[in-house]
Structure 1
Amino acid sequence: MADSLANDIIGAENHLRSERSDFEAMWREVAAQNDPLSPFNGTGDTSVANRGRLAKQFNSRPSLTLQRAASAATSLLVPPGSKWHGLKPVDEELVDNQEATNYCESMRRLLFSWRYDPKANFQGAFGPAYRELMNYGTPCVHIEERFGGDAPFLYRFVPLSQVVFSVDETGVEDTVYRKFAMTAKQMAQKFGESKLSQAAKRALDDPKLRGEKHFDAIHAVYPKTSDKSRFAYDSVYIDVDGKKVMQEGGTYEMPYLMSSFGRVDDHLPYGYAPGLLALAAIKGAHHAKRLFLRAAEKAVDPVMGVSDEHEGTININAGSLVRGAFNRQGRQLIGPIAMGGNPNLGNDTFEMFSADIDACYGMDLFAAVMNKPDMTATEVLSIMEERNNFLSPTFENQEAMLGRCIAREISIVNRKAENGEIDLPPMPDVLRDGEGIDLEFTSPLAQLRKAKQAQANMQAGRAVGELAQFNPAVSDTVDWDELAYQAGDAFGASPTIWADKKVVAATREARAQDAQRQQQLEQQSQQAEQVAKIAPAMKMMEEGA
């Protein structure tokens, strides 16, 4: 049975890998031009092989652009040091419920503290994943449920070259095969010596091989095959060479998270990426840089021409003496040959291709704000709207991936709380009896989506302000508090800067009472002045009487 299962998994992995062979060919070409250390360039991982790959790169601009684009994606979706999502009650009537709000905020703080625990490796996993997103279009991250005193979960970046997968009818991954290398020592640590194949056991017994010799393993995760299983997915590890099942179990959620930059085929879960779109420009940039370097070399160290009249040895080193360089008439017999090349044209061509590369990766939009830091709020909102129109269709797929990530995190910590491994704040009855909690993204990308509405609100507010010059009563038609809240939300202001609405109402009521008392005092003062003015007249009238 075990051997049969291992053979089935090996066959399924091979089938899915053959289905994406066209994509693999494109990815290898992108890797050769723009990602020299990618596994798509070959299986060799020695320093000699790496030097050979790097030697093929004539300029670093495309690789730097890729790295900047990956950093921009990270800053848009999961900016370090920022709480890029929140939790809120599903029932909108509970949004202002203090007990529900406190619970959601407590859970959010706990999730971020565990997520950014150094042992969890969140940034170390998602950073490289977004690099592959921008180059190949498909990132992959594995979330492992940890046991013991460490962080509740461990994040691992999984190179696209290792993993093949298929999706369900909603387009979400439900079957994953990850083929990767493990040493005999690693296999024994994870699965136990008794689960190893004979070849792995022999390597384990050899001190020279136990930590050096690698064996191919496959981790297969797919919908459960038995209705009796308490898990949603089967999880199986096999030794490919030995065709042996090393571990057979299950998982409550899909531990592998994937997405796509943009799919082109409903049958396959892969698609295009900025790296694929920029491939022609990257090739052109490499060629232009190579030509520019050749032209510059000829200009700096030109080819020398020597007259037939010259006799002797030519020494063109600095400060050297060259005998016979001039004839008796003073004519120079040695000199550089003018090749007629134009190095500046080569550099201009290189910059043209580089601009195309920046455009493919969207860097021109990211530079728009940085190049004009003194913009007004309206100009910033306009740029934000433009960036949103370009980025949202693509990066909303990445938010869906993050949503599945957060759902798995919450499921893991809830299970650990039930087992007594960790402590969670008690869920209020209003949430437990209601619809529970929901996810709300507060990342810079989420702010971009709000820019259009915020811009319209601010324009409407300015228009009302201008109309109020002619009729002040028109200002009463606008809820200025809500306008301020929405503007702050669009700019990403921290919720803590806003005073509590009850406090605001109390402050305004106190201000109104102070104004009323002041008005009463002024009225009393005016009455006193009037009495003081008529007092002499009243006195004269009394005396006359």
Structure 2
Amino acid sequence: MWDAKEIEQEQSEMEQARQPFEQMMRDAAIWFLPGHQQFDAMAWTTAGGSRGPSMDARIFDPHAQQSIEQAISLFEGYVMPRGQLWQRWELPDEDLMKQRHVREWVEAKNRLLFKYRNDPKSGFTGQVHESVGSLLAMGSQSMWPDIRRDMLGNPVGLSYQSDFIGQVYVKTDHMGLVSTVHFTFTWTAEKAFSAFRDDAPECVKKAIRDKRPTATFRFIHVVKPNREFDPSRIDWKGKPWAGCYFCRDQGGQVFKNGGYRSMPRIVSRYSVAPNEDYGRCPAFTVLPAVRASQQMVQDMILASELAAMPPLGAHSDMLDQTIKYAAHQVTYGAIDHRGNRKLVPLLEGSDMSGSMELLQRMQTLIDRAFFVDMLQIRQDLKSHVTDSQLYQREEEKGMLLAPLANQETEWLSPMLDREIDLMDEMGEFDDMPGEVAEAIEGGMALMSVSYDNGLSRAQDAGAAAGYWRLLEQFTPIFQSPTGQEAWNRFTEKWPLEKVMDAMGRINGIPASWEAETDERNQRKVENQQAGELGELITALPAIGKTAKDLSDAVPNG
């Protein structure tokens, strides 16, 4: 399955395929994410752990960095909002999901997954932030979910690691999805031996024996489809994904090979052009605007400096005099006996209003590329705006943010597959209901995935806007003498129960706030009793008056 020469050849081909993208990725990293600009694995992870010199001194306008930070926050808030179960999986068999104990088991596992994700020790929040930044700035991201263990090696949860995309090389399959991943890294002998122990390559073991723990070695972690996959096997050949580590030094050595039940390294692209394996992103689109804004700010700084402290021209008679060009200083001889200045500025202050307008235009282009204007979409709304108009704005947001939904296919769903696999390995699915286990053994897929987040709700807001528009159009009819009959027909066609369910989901009302069937029935009884009591209270004065009138009408005996 594994051949050292074949791995080296494949790595060389992947490096060549990525080469046209590297300059764009490097430029985007310089202007948007200065900490991600090293694309050589050796320079990225040196023996001392240094990432090389920072290049952010070249940045004169930090607007691009601020825009991408806001875009990252918008992505996280709309796609994976904290505090919500924004991603749910359930069994594809509807008959099984109708059984209450099966639904409760599935719901418990969904909550457990988010408990693992939200655990501060998992690193999920911080690593997702890094991956989203890489996705928006360099077109691709790579995430490594794994089992988190304590000091004794016992599983205690999940961990997440965002990989630097400069160390990741990919190939795609016939459907255009990532199928082969090479992750390149450089470790010291000490770090490699600590990670691999007895499985470490011979060159690492020799460096440890020779007391050279700081010697560095280059490695590749390879994951690809298992060409020898046999579902009937229980060893690595029975797993759909095959993986190994490869040491590139001293002739090359393959070690620690095995298999995976799910793709362990999740690589996704923002958008992909035809016949390309690597992603493109908003940063690539606005690189010309970013370069222009950097140059304009640099020129404006120079112009401001020249206006504040312009170069001076002096008379030749002042060659032997000292000119003090600073605040609170006196230069003797700068004025002749007639009061004429012998020192004059050579440049007049320039009007930079045109430059400011052009700079604002460039910054607006950058903001639009990173959806920053979405955060300001309600600034022009007035108090008289109707509900239908508000939902129309939300629908527009959903349209403009639609590119983010691609991550459900390439990132979030494959990551869920990996997380479920890891939870199964930890024994979290040992309590699976018998009928579910039987259905899976019969060939049923474990889950179907749905998303309930700000992005999906914004995309569904058009339905809510349509309902409110229709309601506004019929309001004059409801207020007419035949309004009650019209309202009855309206609610018969669109029952309020269904409308409230849909509106609650679109507005993000938690399902846990919804009353259970027993609670609804009890509330109906209470409302009915309250209504009857209200009618009685309303009728009591009339009943009392009638009784009094009858009493007065009876002649005294």
Report how far residue 189 of structure 1 moved: 1.9
* CA-CA distance at 1:252 after TM superposition: 0.6
Q: Root-mean-square deviation (CA), in Å?
A: 3.2
1:99, distance to aligned residue in structure 2 (A) = 3.5
Task: Find the aligned partners of 1:98 and 1:371 in 2 and give their Cα distance.
Answer: 48
SS of residue paired to 2:143: strand
* CA distance, structure 1, for counterparts of residue 276 and residue 220 of structure 2: 21
Q: Does 1:126 align with 2:128?
A: yes
Aligned residue for 1:329, secondary structure, equals coil
Structure 2 CA distance, aligned partners of 1:127 and 1:467?
52
Letter of the structure 2 residue corresponding to residue 497 of structure 1: W
- Go from structure 1 to structure 2 and tell me whether the alpha carbon gap of 1:223 and 1:307 turns closer, same or farther (over 3 Å shift): same
Counterpart residue number, 1:487: 503
Q: Distance in 1 between matches of 2:282 and 2:416?
A: 27
Cα distance per residue 1:338-377 (max 9 Å; x no partner): 3352344333332221111112222122332467697764
**Distance between the aligned counterparts of 1:295 and 1:48, measured in 2?**
38
Structure 1 position 203 matched with structure 2 position 207: yes
Counterpart for residue 454 of structure 2: 444
Which is further off, 449-458 or 73-82? 73-82
Report the equivalent of 1:368: 377
Match of residue 326 from structure 1: 335
The alpha-carbon distance between structure 1 residues 72 and 526, as it changes in their structure 2 partners (threshold 3 A), is closer
- Which of residues 182, 193, 197 is equivalent to 1:192? 197
- In the TM superposition, 1:441-480 aligns within 5 A as 441-470=451-480, 471-476=483-488, 477-478=490-491, 479-480=495-496
| Letter paired with 1:15 | E
Match of 2:217 in 1: 215
Alpha-carbon offset, residue 166 of structure 1: 1.9
Instruction: Give a deviation string over 1:459-506, Cα, whole Å, max 9, x none.
Output: 233444442212212222321122222222111111222222442243
Would you say the 8 A contact 2:88–2:451 is kept in 1? Answer: yes
Contact 1:166 1:268 in 2 (8 A): no
Indicate conservation of the 8 Å contact 1:119/1:151, yes or no: no
Once the two structures are TM-superposed, the CA of residue 535 in structure 1 deviates from its matched residue by 5.7
After superposing the two structures, state which structure 1 stretch, 74-83 or 97-106, moved more: 97-106
Q: Aligned residues, how many? A: 531
The residue that corresponds to 1:24 in the other structure is 22
> Does the Cα contact within 8 Å between 1:31 and 1:41 map onto a contact in 2?
no
**Partners in 2 of 1:105 and 1:370 — Cα distance?**
39
Output the CA distance in 1 between the equivalents of 2:206 and 2:437.
Answer: 57
CA offsets 1:265-293 (integer angstroms, 9 cap, x no match):
2x333232111001110110111011111
Candidates 377, 383, 386, aligned match of 2:393 = 383
**After superposition, what is the alpha-carbon deviation per residue over 1:426-451, rounded to whole angstroms, capped at 9, x for unaligned?**
43858976976532212221221221
Distance, in Å, in 2 between the alignment partners of 1:27 and 1:391 is 23
Question: Which residue among 148, 154, 158 is the counterpart of 2:163?
Answer: 158
Q: For structure 1, which segment, 432-441 or 162-171, has the greater mean C-alpha deviation from structure 2 after superposition?
A: 432-441
**How far, CA to CA, are the matches of 2:533 and 2:73 in structure 1?**
58
Alpha-carbon displacement from aligned partner over 1:289-328 (angstroms, at most 9, x marks no partner): 1111110110111111112344522112322221111111
Pick aligned residue for 1:137 from 139, 148, 154: 139
Q: Percent identity?
A: 20
The answer (yes or no) to whether the contact 1:274–1:361 under 8 Å persists in 2 is yes
For residues 448 and 36 of structure 1, the distance between their equivalents in structure 2, rounded to whole angstroms, comes to 33
Residue identity in the other structure for 1:273: C
CA offsets, 1:131-151, max 9 Å, x none? 111112111111224564344
Structure 1 residue 517: Cα displacement: 6.1
- CA distance in structure 1 between the partners assigned to 2:437 and 2:528 by the alignment: 38
8 A contact 2:306–2:347 mirrored in 1: no
**1:455: how far off?**
1.5
Q: Secondary structure at the match of 2:184?
A: strand
TM-score, with structure 2 as normaliser:
0.85
Tell me: CA distance 1:532–1:29, structure 2 relative to 1, closer, same or farther (3 Å): closer
Contact 1:36 1:50 in 2 (8 A): no
Per mean C-alpha deviation after superposition, the further-off stretch among 360-369 and 391-400 is 391-400
Q: In the alignment, is residue 255 of structure 1 matched against residue 264 of structure 2?
A: yes
Is residue 422 of structure 2 the alignment partner of residue 412 of structure 1?
Answer: yes
Match status 1:270 vs 2:278: yes
Quote the Cα distance in structure 2 between the aligned partners of 1:263 and 1:60.
28
Task: Tell me, yes or no, if the aligned pair for 2:60 and 2:297 is still in contact at 8 Å.
Answer: yes
Query: Displacement, 1:230?
Result: 1.7
Q: Which moved more, 1:489-498 or 1:232-241?
A: 489-498
TM-score (norm 1): 0.87
- In 2, the alpha carbon distance for the partners of 1:370 and 1:285 equals 26
For the residues of structure 2 that align with 1:246 and 1:461, how far apart are their CA atoms? 68
Equivalent residue for 2:290? Answer: 282
SS of match in other structure, 1:384: helix
Task: Return the offset for 1:531.
Answer: 6.2
- Name the CA distance, whole Å, in 1 between partners of 2:162 and 2:523: 52
Deviates more, 1:229-238 or 1:428-437: 428-437
Candidates 11, 15, 40, aligned match of 2:13: 15
Name the SS of the counterpart of 2:331 in structure 1.
Answer: coil
